[in-house]
Chains A and B, each alone.
Chain A
């Protein structure tokens, strides 16, 4: 294959990565933006979504498209429920004190991974794709489902943006983000907003996982990479800003696709982690948004 088509393939693969990454990272960004919580268990919520999608595909009879549709609804709800529970039982009692919440979410990460290992097992398991067609380009054929993933992720992100900007729930969330004491004074139940936001963040990770699992297979340790990449995206994009997250996800996803295709994936990850560390050291407003800089 010539360089041109090869680059196109790398970019298309990168676009799929970017779309899923944007979904996962927007969940992390939402949680940090509104609650100021760094959720280390975010990757575990992602993994949980994929693992649950496998269970749904086993239990729901009929064509793969049906079980996929069921998974797309049920998995985020279950994962969101677990997240809301974790928020009420653990994080709320810590008063969202930053260092304590990080330690607690590390504990949560271990618990969730162990649960997946115990009930799902150590093997990677495939989930059938809901649609099966190939788009034939002049140089190579490309999976139609991968393009559907990109469209699906874009639709979900659009929905999140609409919810945040144009619904009462979104207004309440933004009010809590700007000043939680004033929000409380105006009769907003901040505890419920926090539980909801934490659930929504985890739910977004679960949706991303359900979308990607027909391409990637479900495995109990699959949450590590999405977590690391989401951190990178969220830090480079600036937290709390959905637009920044989106731009950074595109940037990281596409360059990850290109670098991993032409160079070693491990090298790409080393460079990315070092870049993030240096961004944090020299441009901390990348992490803390504009207001606190």
Chain B
């Protein structure tokens, strides 16, 4: 019964997003499509940080791998959108696995700095090979290359529905993952690594697998971002894009399936409305980080789960 309640809640959120497709005004329609793509990224981050306890400061490298994996293939090899999407997902996962093999030898603060450094090196590499990646200026993916089957991804309605489809798959896989035995082992690693080791689980392989799944999510999000919005640029792989999912997850609630989406939604509109009042949107980000870590380290859904809704996955 409990299990069904959680499943129905997530299906309800997806249904609401489908309904929004028909009733949301054009401006919010585009925003929500973007938020869903970024929420996939944040969900991936949450699998590493929220469930497994791996606080990475370098996820922009994985997002960038998906973004450029898809973008370069389309731009230089003339590949179609489906191939580019798959390439992006695989690039994200492979990059996460490679980084994990090295970075997971460290833990805690050292892990944060190592991932930060790898992401910085990746960002600088994109700039260094500017003749292929066009650096900060970025690549604009032509409309002709943004066709998925017979669907034109640059069309607003199609874009929203494709984003929703990808988001729905990501959300339900995430739900299944955290309810699976492997999901329990991930949480066990976060809560007490030594005890999990005593119970016979290898922390290194569990964390590496979780990080790779996280990379697949980040790669999917990056590739979808490039293909749906038609732009691939170095700024999307900069350190800001490592902080963004952390912020979303902290706000929505680390270790909850819906938290990343809720955090992305609220943060996006918070910055959007703040921009109307002041152009100091960095201040909003900074203040949100400080206030969250001080007063609500569990985030919105994390606090709700601790207080009232125990069954929330």
Q: Which residues of A contact B (CB under 8 A)?
A: 38, 90, 93-94, 98-100, 102-104, 106-115, 117-118, 228, 231, 235, 264, 266-267, 269-270, 273-274, 276-278, 280-282, 284, 287-288
Contacts and interface: CB of A to CB of B under 8 A. Distances in A.
Given A90-B294, A277-B114, A107 B287 contact: yes
Interface in B87-140: 102-103, 105-106, 108-110, 112-114, 117-118, 120-121, 124-125, 127-128
A76 to B, nearest CB: 23
Interface stretch (B17-25, B171-179, B278-286): B278-286
Contacts, number: 112
Contacts of B125: 270
B286 A281 contact: no
B280 A118 contact: yes
B183 interface: no
A103 B250 contact: yes
Contacts of B103: 277, 281
A266 B102 contact: no
Contact of B283 (A114, A264, A276): A114
B109 A99 contact: yes
Contacts of A103: 246, 250, 289, 293
Contacts of A110: 282-283, 285-286, 289
Contacts of B270: none
6 contacts: A38-B112, A107-B289, A231-B113, A273-B124, A280-B106, A284-B110
B290 interface: yes
B297 interface: yes
B180 to A, nearest CB: 26
Contacts of A269: 124
A28 B288 CA distance: 25
B55 interface: yes
B266 interface: no
B114 A94 contact: no
Contacts of B246: 103
B209 interface: no
A284 B104 CA distance: 12
Given A98-B109, A277-B117, A281-B106, A104 B294 contact: yes
Given A38-B109, A107-B293, A277 B280 contact: no
A229 B283 CA distance: 25
A108 B105 CA distance: 29
Contacts of A282: 105
Nearest to A288: B110
Interface of B: 55, 57, 102-103, 105-106, 108-110, 112-114, 117-118, 120-121, 124-125, 127-128, 243, 246, 250, 280, 282-283, 285-290, 293-294, 297
Contact of A276 (B55, B117, B294): B117
A114 B282 contact: yes
Contacts of A102: 55, 57, 109, 112
A287 B113 CA distance: 10
Residue among A90, A231, A266, A282 with max Cβ neighbours from chain B (10 Å)? A266
B121 A277 contact: yes
A19 B246 CA distance: 35
A111 B112 contact: no
B127 A99 contact: no
B294 A93 contact: yes
B27 to A, nearest CB: 25
Given A109-B286, A278-B102, A270 B124 contact: yes
A71 B128 CA distance: 37
A155 to B, nearest CB: 31
Given A110-B283, A273-B124, 5 more contacts: A98-B108, A107-B290, A110-B286, A111-B287, A281-B114
A179 B76 CA distance: 59
A107 B288 contact: yes
Contact of A273 (B105, B117, B286, B287): B117
Contacts of B124: 266, 269-270, 273
A284 B103 CA distance: 11
Given A107-B293, A287-B110, A273 B121 contact: yes
A104 B110 contact: no
A109 B252 CA distance: 22
B286 A94 contact: no
A266 B286 contact: no
A287 B111 CA distance: 11
Given A277-B102, A281-B105, A106 B289 contact: yes
Contacts of A288: 110
A98 B55 CA distance: 11
Nearest to B115: A277
Contact of A284 (B106, B118, B120): B106
A111 B113 contact: no
A115 B286 CA distance: 11
Contacts of A278: 102
A2 to B, nearest CB: 29
